[in-house]
Structure 1
Amino acid sequence: MPAKPDWPTRRRVLTGLAALPFCAAAAPAIDRPGERRLRLYNPHTDERFDDVYAVDATIQPAAWQRLNWLLRDHHVDKATDMDPGVFDLLWLMAQRYQVATARRVTINLHSGFRTPETNEKLRPEGAARNSLHLQGKAVDLSVQGFGMVFLANHARAVASGGLGLYWRSDFVHLDTGPKRLWYKRF
């Protein structure tokens, strides 16, 4: 009679799955302690940011200016002082992906600050009349190389304010406003 295969028991599988986050978290750190680094890409302007934006929870002024410009309303080249909480949301997203994949990812920025004129033009596409993009408190993003399900799960985990899921367009909206959730299929 052949030997019984050494199939893992349910308990072994569950124990192994539970250990995965700790294994990934043990991957070597890329940033120095206290640093917050972002790797961002704006496909509308073909501009990038790959730098430290905060050290010991203090926003670096030069990085803040560069991020404000990267997240500008590219339709009219107008920038505003973005809420630093938006950068922290982007960083938290990047950290979750880094833990899950053991590599740094690039976040695509689809929309940051919007002028009232641009926001009005985007209303037929789903832009809210009183969008937090108008106040520099929101960002629409995707992550290169990952689908919407992965993106939505990570966004849900870091969202402290608004979370919008735009399934057909393959991006999420994160903002620093009141906690709420919505989704659009277009």
Structure 2
Amino acid sequence: MTDIKLNSVSRRGLLGAFAATALVAAPTYTNAFGLLKGAGDIRRIRMYSGRTGESIDTIYWIEGEYIPEVIKEINHFMRDWRTDEAVKMDMRTIDIMAAAHRLMDVSEPYMLLSGYRSPRTNAMLRSRSRGVAKNSLHMVGKAADLRLQSRSVGQMANAAAACASGGVGKYSRSNFVHMDCGPVRSWGG
């Protein structure tokens, strides 16, 4: 990886500072991120969708503030691609995803399989699979199903579980991990 200098601070240095915050407890809702005072406190998310062909690679939080315009882009990106409906995603889920990504030390973007799901889409998927919850957190913008080619389901699940901030489901046969900002729990194999 090449260091790109940004205002005399290296990109690697910024990302290293970001990674250092990954397991420090935040005071309000999640262990996924702590508060790092001073310059360089950023959060970044990288994803692509095989369904829509879209991708996103963006810094969505800088020094204690979410960036509203970027959050709107993330909400649109994580929409129900079947119905083209979007909701306001719970940023705690995005924070867990970003923290887990940093813990795995990968540059590959997540493949987003499912973010928001409309009740209609969830009902359709539930009729086809026992693994779809009736009251899925996907329907309220609090969950994502993700895949990485360079990491196993176990590695992804371990990184998400290390955040101790929500639910982590391993779907080894389907090769994806579910991450949500609901109660801390885990399932699957």
In 2, Cα distance between equivalents of 1:159 and 1:116: 28
Q: Which residue of 2 aligns with 1:113?
A: 116
Higher fraction of helix: 1
Shift of 1:145: 2.0
> 1:93 aligned to 2:100?
yes
Does the 8 Å CA contact 1:165/1:183 hold for their aligned counterparts?
yes
Shift of 1:46: 1.0
Aligned ranges 1:1-186 → 2 under 5 Å: 28-29=12-13, 31=15, 33-98=40-105, 103-123=106-126, 124-125=128-129, 126-183=131-188
Shift of 1:156: 2.0
* Residue identity matched to 1:69: H
In 2, Cα distance between equivalents of 1:47 and 1:118: 20
Aligned residue-pair number: 154
In 2, Cα distance between equivalents of 1:87 and 1:56: 16
- The sequence identity of aligned pairs, in percent, is 38
In 2, Cα distance between equivalents of 1:144 and 1:93: 15
Shift of 1:61: 0.7
* Residue identity matched to 2:124: K
Does the 8 Å CA contact 1:142/1:170 hold for their aligned counterparts?
yes
Does the 8 Å CA contact 1:166/1:183 hold for their aligned counterparts?
yes
CA RMSD of aligned residues (A): 1.7
Shift of 1:62: 0.9
In 2, Cα distance between equivalents of 1:171 and 1:55: 29
Does the 8 Å CA contact 1:164/1:174 hold for their aligned counterparts?
yes
**Superposition misfits of 4+ residues, deviation over 4 angstroms:** none
TM-score between both structures, scaled by the size of structure 1: 0.77
Shift of 1:137: 0.5
Q: Which structure has the bigger radius of gyration?
A: 1
In 2, Cα distance between equivalents of 1:178 and 1:171: 20
Shift of 1:107: 1.0
Matched residue SS, 1:91? helix
